[in-house]
Amino acid sequence: MAFSKDEIFNLYRKRARRYDLSANLYYLIGFREHRYRVKAVERLSLKNGDTVVEIGCGTGLNFPLIQNHIGPTGKIIGVDLTDKMLTQARKRVEAKGWSNVELVQADASKYEFPDKVNGVISTFAITLIPDYERIIKNGAAALQPGGHLVILDLKLPQNWPMWLIHLAIVITKPFGVTLDLSDRHPWEAVNRYLAAPSYTELFGGFAYISCGESQAR
């Protein structure tokens, strides 16, 4: 059964301090998380001075990648449900001396996006939220012309044997992943609310990047 919002909140509160270290352990099975994050941020097609909203920003692992594109005149708005994850993100921001990052503790499904942002991104987070479609719809509506919304997340592989799928679920369960989440398809919402959608599978179909552009108004 999929985790409830409260269960996700408590899970990530407990994991916050060691989240970055534990995420890197997946390299041991060949899952190149950082490389996938780089690819996802590149799909935003950002430039100096752009504003990006990150849904489920966690400890801010994507912030350095985004900063490389937007520079000090740009802005990152990091949204996360969990206070302890944002505490770690704030430490990262302070250590780097970034003055262009705003952190917001909020339920992403109820978050009010600012007007005319240049990019919206979510990595390994949005599938955990039952009302992911509302987030994608609202994020798409907030984009400026030419802006992009990008999702990097996990999915159920089509061609893996069931024993391997169950093993993958066991390995990723510490991050809230359950087999029930396979019924959630955020990329389909990207197709509905954004133009020129693209979809790329990673790690043999266990992960994907979905991207779309703002629709003409």
Average pLDDT value for the chain: 91
Q: What percent of the chain has pLDDT over 90?
A: 69
Structural domain includes residue 80:
yes
pLDDT on residue 193: 97
Q: Closest by alpha carbon to 130, among 57, 81, 202?
A: 81
Structural domain includes residue 66:
yes
Residue type at position 112: E
Structural domain includes residue 59:
yes
Structural domain includes residue 67:
yes
Structural domain includes residue 216:
no
Residue type at position 39: K
Question: Could you give the CA distance from residue 215 to residue 217 in angstroms, rounded to a whole number?
Answer: 6
For residue 28, pLDDT beyond 60: no
Instruction: Write out the two tokens for 11.
Output: 């899970």
Structural domain includes residue 185:
yes
The contacts of residue 56 (CB under 8 Å, 6+ apart) are 79, 80, 81, 108, 122, 123, 124, 125, 126, 128, 129
For residue 152, pLDDT beyond 80: yes
Count of domains forming the chain = 1
Residue-wise pLDDT tens digits, 156-178: 888 888 887 778 777 777 777 77
The structure's pTM equals: 0.91
Q: Closest by alpha carbon to 124, among 193, 174, 189, 71?
A: 174
For residue 84, pLDDT beyond 90: yes
Give residue 42's domain range. 5-211
**What one-character-per-residue DSSP string does the chain give?**
-PPPHHHHHHHHHHHGGGHHHHHHGGGGGT--HHHHHHHHHHHT---TT-EEEEET-TTTTTHHHHHHHH-TTSEEEEEES-HHHHHHHHHHHHHHT-SSEEEEE--GGG--PPSSEEEEEEES-GGGSTTHHHHHHHHHHHEEEEEEEEEEEE---SSS-HHHHHHHHHHHGGGT--GGGGG--HHHHHHHHSEEEEEEEEGGGTEEEEEEEPPP-
Rounded alpha-carbon distances, angstroms, from residue 170 to 50, 131, 163, 173, 175: 39, 24, 11, 5, 10
CATH classification at residue 25: 3.40.50.150
Structural domain includes residue 217:
no
pLDDT on residue 217: 59
